[in-house]
C-alpha cells in the first residue's frame, strides 16, 4: 500500500463518497478512510445490504445512496474501512488505526468529510440504560433491522425526531408520547423563510407526510415541554416533563432523545482550522470558502462537518471540493472547473432553499434550561452540572479552565458528549455568550488506541518523523 496520495478523504458519507469519486474520475490518486465497515455514512448506513422491506420503509432518500456507492465502488479510489483516524496535521500527515495496527500516510490534500453528530443534551437521567439518541435507534434499524420493544417515548426537537417517530409508527411500535421542546407557535421570521421554501414543494411534502402520520396515529403529542427528565433506578422506568404548565409522566422502556445535529469538528480543531460560531444553530463550524478550502490551503471542509445542510447538500459540497483540488493539482483549468461547478452550485442553491425555514422552526434554545445540578455532565470523568457551576462561581470563565479544575472534557471522548452543554452552562453562569467561553482543546490521539500500536510505528517511520509524531502528541 502506498504512503502518499494526491488526496485523502476522511469519512465515507455523501460528501466523502462524492468527493472521492470525482477526484478519482479526474485521475487523482485518492485514499478514503472511514471508521464504518461499509461506505454510506450515517444517512446511507448499510444501504447496500438492506432488505427490501428496509429500503421501502426508509424511502427514496435512503435508496439514493445505492447509486452514490455504486459510483464510488467503480472508481479507482482506495477504500480503507474500519479505519480510525487519530491524528492529522495541516502538512498532510494522517495517522490511523486499522486491524490493531497504526500507520501514517501523507496526502497533498486532506478532505475532512466527517459529517455531523446528534447534539448531546444532558437531561436528568440521560445516562440510564434505556435512554439513547433517536439517530442511534435509526442506525440500529438500518444496520441490524432492530425495532424497539415495549413502550417508547420520543423527546426533544428537530426533523429527525419526527422522522423517527413516523418510522416507528409504520413499524407498529408502541409510542407512549412525543414530547417536543419546540415552541407551539412559530417565530415571526418563519413566514419570511417560508416563501423561498415554497419553491421546494417536494421537501415540504415530505415534512407534511411525517406530520400527518403522527397526527393520524392519535399518539399524545406535547409541544413546548420543559423540565424533561428520565427517571429510574438500574434502568429507565418513566419519563417526566412539564407540558401546558402541568407535570406529565409516562411509563416507558425506551426514551429516544434528539436535539438536532451539530458538525463534528475535532479534526478541524486538531489541525488549527479557523472556527466560527453559528449563534442561531448554536454550533461551531470551520470557516471555508465556496470550494470548502479552510485557512490551510490543502485542508478542505465538506459535508455537514462544514455546516449542517443535509445529505444532498453534502454530496454537492463534496463535488465542489473535488473540482477545486483537481484544479490545484493541474488536472483541469479554472474555466473547466467553473463550468463543471456551475450546475452543481445551482442544485446546491435549490437544495438549500428550505434550510432557513427548518433552522428557524427548530432553532435550539439558548442556555442551560434542562441542566440540573445533580445531572452527570461528563460521563467519562463523572463530573456533574453542579461541579461546573461551582467552578464558574469561583471565577473560572472559559471551558478549558473548567476542564482543568473539574476534569470535564478530559476523558477519552475529549468532550464530544459534554462539550456543547459545558459551553452553554459556563456561558449562562458567567452571563456571557457561548462564543466567548471558547472550545475545548483537543489533542492526539483523538480516540483511544493501544500504546503498543504507536510504539510499533517506530519500525516504519524514520527517527525524525517519529520525533515529530510524539512531539505533536505532547502538545
Please state the rounded mean pLDDT for residues 234-248: 96
Please state the rounded mean pLDDT for residues 219-232: 95
**Domain residue spans of the chain:** 4-117+262-332, 120-259, 376-437
Q: Is the pLDDT of residue 466 over 60?
A: no
Predicted local confidence at residue 1, as pLDDT = 58
CATH class of 4-117+262-332: alpha beta
pLDDT tier at 474 (50, 70, 90 boundaries)? low
Q: Is the pLDDT of residue 391 over 80?
A: yes
Of the candidates 425, 473, 438, the one whose C-alpha atom is nearest the C-alpha of residue 453 is 473
Give the tens place of pLDDT for each residue, 133-184. Answer: 999 999 999 998 899 999 999 999 999 999 999 999 999 999 999 999 988 8
Give the tens place of pLDDT for each residue, 19-74. Answer: 999 999 999 999 999 999 999 999 999 999 999 999 999 999 999 999 999 999 99
Q: Is the pLDDT of residue 467 over 60?
A: no
pLDDT tier at 256 (50, 70, 90 boundaries)? very high
Q: Is the pLDDT of residue 473 over 80?
A: no
What pairing do the DSSP bridges indicate for beta strands 30-33 and 4-10? parallel
Please state the rounded mean pLDDT for residues 444-455: 91
Mean pLDDT value across the chain: 93
Q: What is the pTM of this model?
A: 0.94
Please state the rounded mean pLDDT for residues 210-220: 96
Pairwise CA distance, residues 379 & 94, whole Å: 29
Percent of the chain having pLDDT more than 90? 87
Which homologous superfamily is 376-437 in? BFD-like [2Fe-2S]-binding domain (1.10.10.1100)
Q: Is the pLDDT of residue 4 over 60?
A: yes
Whether 376-437 and 120-259 are alike in CATH topology: the answer is: no
Predicted local confidence at residue 52, as pLDDT = 92
Which CATH fold topology does 120-259 show? FAD/NAD(P)-binding domain (3.50.50)
- Weakest mean pLDDT among 38-47, 128-137, 288-297, 457-466: 457-466
Please state the rounded mean pLDDT for residues 459-470: 56
Please state the rounded mean pLDDT for residues 310-337: 98
Amino acid at each position: 500500500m502506498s504512503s502518499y496520495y494526491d488526496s485523502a478523504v476522511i469519512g465515507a458519507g455523501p460528501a466523502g463518497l462524492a468527493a472521492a469519486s470525482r477526484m478519482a474520475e479526474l485521475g487523482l490518486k485518492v485514499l478514503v478512510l472511514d471508521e464504518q465497515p461499509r461506505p454510506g455514512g450515517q444517512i446511507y448506513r448499510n444501504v447496500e445490504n438492506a432488505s427490501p422491506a428496509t429500503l421501502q420503509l426508509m424511502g427514496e432518500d435512503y435508496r439514493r445512496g445505492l447509486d452514490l456507492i455504486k459510483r464510488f465502488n467503480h472508481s479507482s479510489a482506495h477504500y480503507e474501512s474500519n479505519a480510525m483516524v487519530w491524528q492529522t496535521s495541516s502538512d498532510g500527515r494522517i495517522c490511523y488505526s486499522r486491524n490493531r495496527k497504526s500507520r501514517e500516510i501523507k496526502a497533498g490534500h486532506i478532505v475532512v468529510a466527517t459529517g455531523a453528530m446528534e447534539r448531546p443534551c444532558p437531561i436528568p437521567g440521560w445516562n440510564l440504560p434505556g435512554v439513547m439518541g433517536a439517530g442511534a435507534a435509526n442506525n440500529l434499524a438500518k444496520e441490524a433491522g432492530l425495532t424497539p420493544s415495549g413502550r417508547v417515548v420520543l423527546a426533544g426537537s428537530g426533523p429527525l425526531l419526527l422522522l423517527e417517530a413516523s418510522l416507528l409508527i409504520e413499524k407498529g411500535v408502541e409510542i407512549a408520547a412525543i414530547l417536543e421542546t419546540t415552541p407551539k407557535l412559530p417565530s415571526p421570521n418563519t413566514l419570511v423563510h417560508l416563501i423561498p421554501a415554497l419553491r421546494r414543494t417536494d421537501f415540504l411534502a415530505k415534512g407534511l407526510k411525517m406530520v400527518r402520520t403522527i397526527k393520524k396515529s392519535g399518539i399524545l403529542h406535547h409541544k413546548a415541554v420543559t423540565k424533561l427528565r428520565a427517571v429510574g433506578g438500574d434502568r429507565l422506568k418513566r419519563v417526566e416533563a412539564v407540558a401546558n404548565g402541568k407535570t406529565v409522566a409516562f411509563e416507558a422502556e425506551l426514551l429516544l432523545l434528539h436535539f438536532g445535529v451539530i458538525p463534528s469538528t475535532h479534526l478541524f480543531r486538531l489541525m488549527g482550522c479557523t472556527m466560527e460560531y453559528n449563534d442561531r444553530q448554536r454550533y461551531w463550524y470551520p470557516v471555508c470558502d465556496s470550494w470548502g478550502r479552510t485557512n490551510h490551503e490543502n485542508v478542505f471542509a465538506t459535508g455537514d462537518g462544514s455546516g449542517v445542510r443535509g445529505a444532498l447538500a453534502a454530496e454537492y459540497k463534496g463535488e465542489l471540493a473535488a473540482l477545486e483540488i483537481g484544479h490545484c493539482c493541474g488536472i483541469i483549468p479554472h474555466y473547466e472547473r467553473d463550468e463543471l461547478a456551475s450546475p452543481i452550485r445551482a442544485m446546491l442553491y435549490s437544495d438549500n432553499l428550505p434550510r432557513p425555514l427548518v433552522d428557524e422552526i427548530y432553532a435550539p434554545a439558548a442556555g442551560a434550561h434542562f441542566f440540573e445540578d445533580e445531572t452527570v455532565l461528563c460521563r467519562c470523568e463523572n463530573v456533574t452540572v453542579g461541579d461546573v457551576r461551582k467552578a464558574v462561581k469561583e471565577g473560572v470563565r472559559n471551558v478549558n479552565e473548567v476542564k482543568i479544575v473539574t476534569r470535564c472534557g478530559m476523558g477519552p471522548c475529549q468532550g464530544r458528549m459534554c462539550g456543547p452543554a459545558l459551553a452553554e452552562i459556563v456561558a449562562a453562569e458567567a452571563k456571557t455568550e457561548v462564543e466567548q467561553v471558547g472550545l475545548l482543546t483537543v489533542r492526539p490521539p483523538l480516540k483511544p488506541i493501544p500504546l503498543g500500536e504507536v510504539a510499533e510505528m517506530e519500525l516504519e517511520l524514520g527517527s525524525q518523523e517519529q520525533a515529530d509524531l510524539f512531539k505533536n502528541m505532547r502538545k
